[in-house]
Structure 1
């Protein structure tokens, strides 16, 4: 089973198992990862699951769709590799994925 590594704004890391086909947001919420709220439940209708994809994983994760880019306008401290974790689907090739959580959500 793939794993996802969540690194918070203070540098603490939490590694969780992430079944393929789930989203990074679903996994974070299920495991009470601090910094990921997911208020809309994964409908890409808020920005409370905002994360920063680690530089080493940007290409493997892929680019956000236009709808996600628009929704990121509502996120706090958007950066070059900002993504909504509800839009990142876990695949076997993402085993070991590293995402960073922002200081706060919108």
Structure 2
């Protein structure tokens, strides 16, 4: 298991044990993390699982695909470290990663 911390806009933290092979979105939904709506179920067809990846982990999560970039255009409050959590696979080198959830999704 990989420890990932989701931080709500309010500052509330949710540290979860994430199973490798799942996506961050799947992990957040299974753990009941508020703010990850995941309306499309992980199909990269919306922006309701938008997160801000901790700067120390952006190189480990890789670059957004062109499809993800397109969906991020619909994200509220997009930043340089914005990603869709449905597009980030959990792997061991993400141990300790912290992701922030924006105030509004989509």
TM-score, normalized by the shorter chain, greater than 0.5: yes
Aligned to 1:15, the other structure's residue is in SS state strand
Name structure 2 gaps, 5 residues minimum.
Answer: none
Q: Which residue of 1 aligns with 2:11?
A: 11
* Superposition TM-score, scaled by structure 1 size: 0.96
Q: Does 2:80 align with 1:76?
A: no
Q: Which residue of 2 aligns with 1:35?
A: 35
1:52 positional shift: 0.4
Q: Which residue of 2 aligns with 1:25?
A: 25
1:7 positional shift: 0.9
1:89 positional shift: 0.1
Q: Does 2:47 align with 1:47?
A: yes
Looking at structure 2, the residues matched to 24 and 77 of structure 1 have their Cα atoms a distance apart, in angstroms, of 19
User: Structure 1 runs of 4+ off > 3 angstroms?
Assistant: none
Aligned to 2:56, the other structure's residue is in SS state helix
Aligned residues: 106
What CA RMSD, in Å, does the superposition of the two structures yield over aligned residues? 0.8
* Superposition TM-score, scaled by structure 2 size: 0.96
Name structure 1 gaps, 5 residues minimum.
Answer: none
1:59 positional shift: 1.1
